[in-house]
Structure 1
Amino acid sequence: MLAVLAAHVDEQNPLAGLKIGEWPEPVPPPGWTSVELRAAGLNHHDLWTLRGVGVAAEGLPVVLGAEGAGVDEEGNEVIVHAVVGDPAAGGGDETLDPAMGLLSSEYDGTFAERVVVPRRNLVPKPAALSFEEAACLPGAWLTAYRMLFERSGAEPGSTVLVQGAGGGVSTALITLGAAAGHRVWVTGRTEQRRARARELGAERTFAPGTRLPERVDVVLETVGAATWEHSARSVRPGGRIVVCGATTGARVPLDLSRLFYRQVSVVGSTLGTRDQLARLAGLVAGTGLRPLVDRVLPLTRAREGFAAMAAGRLFGKIVLGIRP
């Protein structure tokens, strides 16, 4: 079958390790099943894998892709949850299982014609969603859903700041936050990006680093080093910064006096559970909210999609169409 692989890692030039070619058909072990994929979403996690983050050299090559939707062995349309873990081992949350693994890191991912996963990792795809839209949910949208509705503590009417307009998580945060009744403020590098953020529901937009007219209740941080200082300055006393990623680097200065004196909480958030994915799918189907798809490319043009994501030349999600 055709697949997109991380053949080797290169921290400075991650696309050097990207390979598109034939890969053996996967065979599901006991308790697992196979899914014939129809669409898969690109995610910054895949770039980190190509840089060698979260993957060992002896685990390569590995099929990339942590987001996907397709058809299971019984002909059901399904969404694939990327977290392979035992909920019981994590106190009911498989993302806290010490032995947790992810598709595209410890296990072959969704950038292929077929993938194998534990049976419990399949969530029914709502008929109202296209495969391309559904493929955006297990990564970017699930991350945003958990950040907003579990980790932020924000109540309707709260002011939340989304750092960076344009990526899959940030566009999901804007859409979900506005629908939940939050005052969504967004930073964006260009006026075009800021205008598109307003179209998605942002109340106000700002250039990066702009001093805000007032401090916000919650900062939703996906960027990392480039925006961290602004995030720390922008949250109100007693507020919260929720961090799910660091696309510009993870090492940031931390002013402890600011944290304890202003009683600011910094909370980490990673993906979400299978049950949260099921609830998210129901929410999207029931409300009419839809992931913003920047473009759909065939597997054979995956390198083009990776290059656009690495350069930030996207607004929303890049999706790979796998089968008609």
Structure 2
Amino acid sequence: MRAAYAVASDPTDPRSALRVGDRPDPEPPEGWVTVEVRAASLNQHDLWSLRGVGLPADRLPMILGCDAAGVDPDGNEVVIYPVVEDKADPRGLSLLSERHPGTLAERVAVPRENLVRKPAGLSFVDAACLPTAWLTAYHMLTTRGRVADASSVLVQGAGGGVATAAVVLAVAMGKRVYATSRDAGKRAKIAELGATAVEPGLRLPERVDVVIESVGAPTFEHSMKCCAPGARIVVCGATGGHLATVDLRRVFAMRLDILGSTMGTGAELTALLDLLVEKNVRPVVDSTYGFSAVADAFARLESGDIFGKVAVDLLH
């Protein structure tokens, strides 16, 4: 079967470690099934894997990809939840493509319990964009950020998958949403999504109840200054640097919660799918590539000039 996989690691030129070609068909163990993949999407996780982060040499070659939608052996259209229980991992779980072959292939083996029904109203490409970035944003907003109790949300660094998803979801939930970007073109696109777009570091018209933070050091001070009393700053990454300065006086004086967050549960993925159908919301897709152009999809992701998700359509 066709697959996109890592054959080495290269911290400085990750795409040099990428290959696209034939790999053996999956052999699912007991309790697992093989899904015919119809669409997949890329994440920064895939580039980190090619750099060797979390993917040591003894697991190579490894098929990449965490996210996909396809058809199960019974003919059902499904979305794949990418988190696998894994006793061999110190965390007790792993993502597809870390210890088990990933989704950037014509077929992938997954635990049957990881299959979530795809709503008829969502295309395979739309559904394939959801399991990592959009689920992460949903979990940050709902479970960690308790956005149901909030009126306003700040999303730092909108443009990438998680931050853009957070903007769309918070708007769909009826919140006042502010989002930052250094790029004027991205700020215009943020405004089209229903949020107020601002340059990084600028004062907001109000203090917010929830901050979605994935940038880290360059924006964290601004995130804290924008918080209302009792606000939650939810952190899922640090793309701009992980050594942020925290003014502890502001933390205790404003009674702030600083919360770490990763991914979400299978039940939350189902709830996310239901929300998108109910609100008639679709993921923001930056670009879609056929499988023969998957190397170009990786180049697009690595460019950093994306707005939304980079998807791979295996039907084209």
Deviations 1:126-181 (A, max 9, x none): 11110000101111111111111111022365211001121121221111101111
2:63 matched to which residue of 1?
63
SS of corresponding position for 1:155: helix
Give the 3-state SS of the residue equivalent to 2:217 in structure 1: coil
Quote the RMSD (CA, aligned, Å).
Answer: 1.9
State yes or no: 1:103 paired with 2:96.
Answer: yes
Is 1:259 aligned to 2:251, yes or no? yes
Q: Please say which of residues 302-311 and 60-69 is displaced more in the overlay.
A: 302-311
CA distance in 1: counterparts of 2:254 and 2:133, whole angstroms: 31
Counterpart of 2:299, as a letter, is A
Is residue 154–residue 212 contact of structure 2 (8 Å, CA) maintained in 1? Answer: yes
1:283 is displaced (CA, Å) by: 1.7
Cα contact 2:150–2:210 (8 A) shared by 1 = no
Instruction: Using the aligned pairs only, state the percent identity.
Output: 50
- Number of residue pairs the alignment of both structures matches: 315
Cα distance, 1:260–1:150 mapped onto 2, change above 3 Å: same
Deviations 1:89-125 (A, max 9, x none): 9xxxxxx994101101121111110100000000011
Cα distance between partner residues in 2 of 1:251 and 1:7: 32
Pair 1:148 & 2:136 matched: no
Corresponding residue SS for 1:227 = helix
Q: Are the counterparts in 1 of residues 150 and 209 from structure 2 also a CA contact under 8 Å?
A: no
Contact 1:157 1:181 in 2 (8 A): no
SS at match of 1:37: strand
Asked whether the 8 Å contact 1:242–1:268 carries over to 2, the reply is: yes
The answer to whether the aligner puts 1:164 opposite 2:157 as a matched pair is yes
Aligned to 2:10: 10
> Letter of the aligned partner of 1:76 in structure 2?
N
Partner of 2:203: 211
After TM superposition, the structure 1 = structure 2 runs for residues 276-287 of structure 1, keeping only pairs within 5 Å, are 276-287=268-279
Alignment of 1:70-219 (within 5 A): 70-85=70-85, 98-155=91-148, 158-202=151-195, 204-219=196-211
User: Which ranges of 4 or more aligned residues in structure 1 deviate by more than 4 Å?
Assistant: none
TM-score when normalising by structure 2: 0.94
CA contact under 8 A between 2:35 and 2:109: conserved in structure 1?
yes
Query: TM-score scaled by structure 1?
Result: 0.91
3-state SS of paired residue (1:270):
coil
One-letter identity of the residue aligned with 1:141: W
CA contact (8 A) 1:4 1:302 kept: yes
Give the drift of 1:259.
2.3
Aligned-partner Cα distance in 2 for 1:314–1:197? 13
Displacement after TM superposition at 1:291 (Å): 0.6
Q: Which residue of 1 aligns with 2:223?
A: 231
Unaligned runs of 5+ in 1: 90-95
Shift of 1:69: 0.1
Specify the alignment match of 1:315 in structure 2.
307
1:25 alignment partner in structure 2 = 25
CA contact (8 A) 1:155 1:182 kept: no
Structure 2 gap ranges (5+): none
* Contact persistence 1:159–1:183 (CA under 8 A): yes
Q: Read off the aligned partner of 2:228 and give its amino acid letter.
A: R
Contact 1:171 1:200 in 2 (8 A): no
